[in-house]
A and B are shown apart, each in its own frame.
Chain A
Amino acid sequence: MNDGILEFINVGKEYSGHAVLKGINMDVRPGEIHALIGENGAGKSTLMNILFGMPVIHETGGFTGEVRVGGQNAKIMNPHDAMEQGIGMVHQEFMLIPGFSITENIKINREITRETLMSKFFGQRMELLDHKKMAGDARKALDIMGMDIEEYTKVEGLPVGHMQFVEIAREIDKTGIRFLVFDEPTAVLTESETEHLLDAIRKLAAQGIGIIFISHRLDEIIRVSDRVTILRDGEWVATEETKNITAAEIARLMVGRALTLDRTEGSRQISGEEILRVENLRVNMPGEEVKGVDLSVRKGEILGIGGLAGQGKLGIANGLMGMYPVKGKVTFKGEPLDVANNSETLKKGIAFLSEDRKGVGLLLSSPIDLNIAFSAMEVHGKFIKKVGPLSLTDRKEIRENAEKMAKELDIRCTSVAQNAGALSGGNQQKVCVGRALCLDPDLLLVSEPTRGIDIGAKKLILDLLKSLAEERGMTIVMTSSELAELRSICDRVLIICEGKVAGELSPTDSDEVYGLMMSGVSKEEAMKASGAVQGDSLQKGGAVNG
Chain B
Amino acid sequence: MGKKIGNAINRIGIPTFAVGALLLVLLIAAGALGQSIPTLISDILKRIGMNGVLVLAMLPAIKSGVGPNFALPIGIEGGLMAMIICMQFDFEGWGLIGAATLLCILFCSILGFLYGKLMNAVKGAEMTIATYSGFSMCAFFNILWLAIPFSNRKMGWMLGNGLRETIDMKKFGAKNIISDFLAFKIGKVTIPVGMILTLALLCFITWLFFQTKTGMAIYAGGQNPRFAEASGLNINRNRIIANVFSTILAGLGIILYSQGYGYTQLYNGPMNMAFPAVAAVLVGGATASKASIPNVLIGVCLFQGLMTTGMPVMNQIFTGTDLSDIMRIIIQNGVILYALTKVKSGGDR
Q: Give chain A's interface residues, CB within 8 Å of chain B.
A: 321, 323, 342-347, 352, 354, 356, 359-366, 370, 374-375, 377-379, 381, 384, 390-393
If A378-B217, A393-B212, A393-B213 touch, whether A363 touches B230 (CB-CB below 8 Å) is no
Within the complex, what minimum Cβ distance (angstroms) separates A343 from chain B? 3
If A384-B213, A393-B212, A393-B213 touch, whether A366 touches B223 (CB-CB below 8 Å) is yes
Residues in B whose Cβ lies below 8 Å from that of A360 = 224, 226-227, 229-230
Within the complex, what minimum Cβ distance (angstroms) separates A65 from chain B? 38
**Cα distance, A390 to B214, chains bound together (Å):** 10
Residues in B whose Cβ lies below 8 Å from that of A361 = 227, 230
Within the complex, what minimum Cβ distance (angstroms) separates B30 from chain A? 39
**Cα distance, A544 to B336, chains bound together (Å):** 81
If A363-B224, A392-B208, A393-B211 touch, whether A323 touches B216 (CB-CB below 8 Å) is no
Q: Are A323 and B213 in contact (CB under 8 A)?
A: no
Residues in B whose Cβ lies below 8 Å from that of A354 = 230
Kindly name the residue among A323, A365, A374 whose own CB sees the greatest number of chain B CB atoms within 10 A: A374
In the complex, the chain A residue whose C-beta lies closest to that of B211 is A392
Q: Are A378 and B229 in contact (CB under 8 A)?
A: no
Q: Are B220 and A346 in contact (CB under 8 A)?
A: no
**Interface check B315, CB cutoff 8 A:** no
Task: Indicate which residue in A321, A342, A352, A374 contacts B216 across the interface (CB closer than 8 Å).
Answer: A374
Residues in A whose Cβ lies below 8 Å from that of B290 = 365
**Cα distance, A346 to B230, chains bound together (Å):** 9
Q: Are B216 and A377 in contact (CB under 8 A)?
A: yes
What are 15 A-B residue pairs whose CB atoms fall within 8 Å in the complex? A323-B226, A323-B230, A352-B230, A360-B224, A362-B224, A363-B220, A363-B224, A366-B223, A370-B216, A374-B216, A375-B231, A381-B213, A390-B208, A392-B211, A393-B216
Residues in A whose Cβ lies below 8 Å from that of B223 = 363, 365-366
Kindly name the residue among B224, B230, B234 whose own CB sees the greatest number of chain A CB atoms within 10 A: B230
Task: Indicate which residue in B208, B220, B226 contacts A356 across the interface (CB closer than 8 Å).
Answer: B226
If A359-B226, A360-B226 touch, whether A345 touches B212 (CB-CB below 8 Å) is no
Task: Indicate which residue in B212, B226, B232 contacts A346 across the interface (CB closer than 8 Å).
Answer: B232
Residues in B whose Cβ lies below 8 Å from that of A392 = 208, 211-213
Q: Are A321 and B220 in contact (CB under 8 A)?
A: no
Q: Are B232 and A377 in contact (CB under 8 A)?
A: no
**Cα distance, A323 to B232, chains bound together (Å):** 10
Cβ < 8 Å to A, chain B residues 205-255: 208, 211-213, 216-217, 220, 223-224, 226-227, 229-234
**Cα distance, A361 to B226, chains bound together (Å):** 8
Within the complex, what minimum Cβ distance (angstroms) separates B342 from chain A? 14
Residues in B whose Cβ lies below 8 Å from that of A393 = 211-213, 216
Residues in A whose Cβ lies below 8 Å from that of B216 = 370, 374, 377-378, 393
Residues in B whose Cβ lies below 8 Å from that of A356 = 226
Residues in B whose Cβ lies below 8 Å from that of A381 = 213
Task: Indicate which residue in A363, A370, A379 contacts B232 across the interface (CB closer than 8 Å).
Answer: A379
Q: Give chain B's interface residues, CB within 8 Å of chain A.
A: 208, 211-213, 216-217, 220, 223-224, 226-227, 229-234, 290
Q: Are B231 and A379 in contact (CB under 8 A)?
A: yes
Residues in A whose Cβ lies below 8 Å from that of B227 = 360-363
Within the complex, what minimum Cβ distance (angstroms) separates B230 from chain A? 5
Residues in B whose Cβ lies below 8 Å from that of A352 = 230
Residues in B whose Cβ lies below 8 Å from that of A391 = 212-213
**Cα distance, A343 to B232, chains bound together (Å):** 4
Within the complex, what minimum Cβ distance (angstroms) separates A385 from chain B? 10
Given contacts A323-B230, A363-B224, list 20 more A-B pairs with CB under 8 A. Answer: A323-B229, A345-B232, A352-B230, A356-B226, A359-B226, A360-B227, A360-B229, A361-B230, A362-B227, A363-B227, A366-B223, A374-B220, A377-B216, A378-B213, A378-B233, A381-B213, A392-B208, A392-B212, A393-B212, A393-B213
If A366-B223, A377-B216 touch, whether A346 touches B231 (CB-CB below 8 Å) is yes
**Cα distance, A393 to B216, chains bound together (Å):** 8
Q: Are A374 and B231 in contact (CB under 8 A)?
A: yes
**Cα distance, A370 to B228, chains bound together (Å):** 13
Residues in A whose Cβ lies below 8 Å from that of B220 = 363, 366, 374, 378
Residues in B whose Cβ lies below 8 Å from that of A347 = 232
Within the complex, what minimum Cβ distance (angstroms) separates A78 from chain B? 29
Residues in A whose Cβ lies below 8 Å from that of B230 = 321, 323, 342, 352, 354, 360-361, 375
In the complex, the chain B residue whose C-beta lies closest to that of A360 is B226
Residues in B whose Cβ lies below 8 Å from that of A374 = 216, 220, 231
In the complex, the chain A residue whose C-beta lies closest to that of B213 is A391
Residues in A whose Cβ lies below 8 Å from that of B208 = 390, 392
Residues in B whose Cβ lies below 8 Å from that of A359 = 224, 226
Residues in B whose Cβ lies below 8 Å from that of A342 = 229-230, 232
Residues in A whose Cβ lies below 8 Å from that of B217 = 378
In the complex, the chain B residue whose C-beta lies closest to that of A341 is B232
**Cα distance, A366 to B226, chains bound together (Å):** 15
